[in-house]
Amino acid sequence: MSGQSIQMPQNNSVANLAMDVPGPQDKLFHDFVRVQAKNTPSGFRVPRFVSLKYGTSNGRTGPSRGHPVAWRYKRKGLPMIVVAETELWRKVRDVNGDESWMDRRLLTGKKMVLARTEIILHAKPRSDSKRRAIALKGALLELHTCENGRWCLVSSPGGNMAGYVPKTLLWGAQTL
C-alpha cells in the first residue's frame, strides 16, 4: 500500500490509512481553538482544511527544521486540519488525530477528502440517482462543492470518475 500510509521514522511503525479512516459512526473533531482570519499570519481562519502538496512530507515535533520528525506522510493530497500557525509553520492534525508541525510550503489549499467507508458516487445529489462509481474506504477524492449541506460533488484525483456523495461519508468536507 505504498503511498497510502503514514510512517513514524523512530520505530518504523505504519498506520494504514485505509483502515484508520474514521467510520461514519465515529466522532470527527474536538478541542479546536478558533482564530479569525484577520488574527492569523496567513490571513486564513484556524481551524481549516488543507492538503499535502507532495508525496512525502515530514511532520515535526515543533515549528523548525531543528525539531525531530514525528511523522513522515507519504500520500500527496492527504487532507489535514491546520490547528495553529506561525508565519512559516502550520500545526496540523491528521485523520487519525495526530498533530505535528509542517513547513507551510508542504501544504496547499486544494480541497481533498477521504472516503470514511466504501461509498457510491451518484449522478445527482440523491441516493436514488444513477450510480457512477464506487470508492473504497480510504480513497482520496478531490472536493468540488457541497450542496444543501448534505451532498458533495467529488472526483478522483485524475478526474476519471466523479459524482455526488453524502457529506457525512467524507473526512475533510465538514465545516470546522
Spell out the SS3 assignment of 54-81: CCCEEEECCCCCCCCEEEEECCCCCEEE
8 Å CB contact between 114 and 95: yes
Cα(119)–Cα(45) distance, integer angstroms: 30
Those residues whose C-beta lies under 8 Å from the C-beta of residue 10, and which sit 6 or more positions away, are none
Cα(152)–Cα(16) distance, integer angstroms: 25
User: Which parts of the chain have pLDDT scores under 70?
Assistant: 1-30
- Give the pLDDT score at 113: 97
- Give the pLDDT score at 22: 60
> Tell me: domain 5-110, CATH 2.30.30.40, correct?
yes
Establish whether domains 5-110 and 113-171 are of one fold. yes
- Give the pLDDT score at 85: 93
Q: What is the CATH number of domain 113-171?
A: 2.30.30.40
Nearest to 143 by CA among 117, 120, 122, 170: 170
What are the domain boundaries of the chain? Answer: 5-110, 113-171
Cα(171)–Cα(95) distance, integer angstroms: 7
Cα(149)–Cα(127) distance, integer angstroms: 15
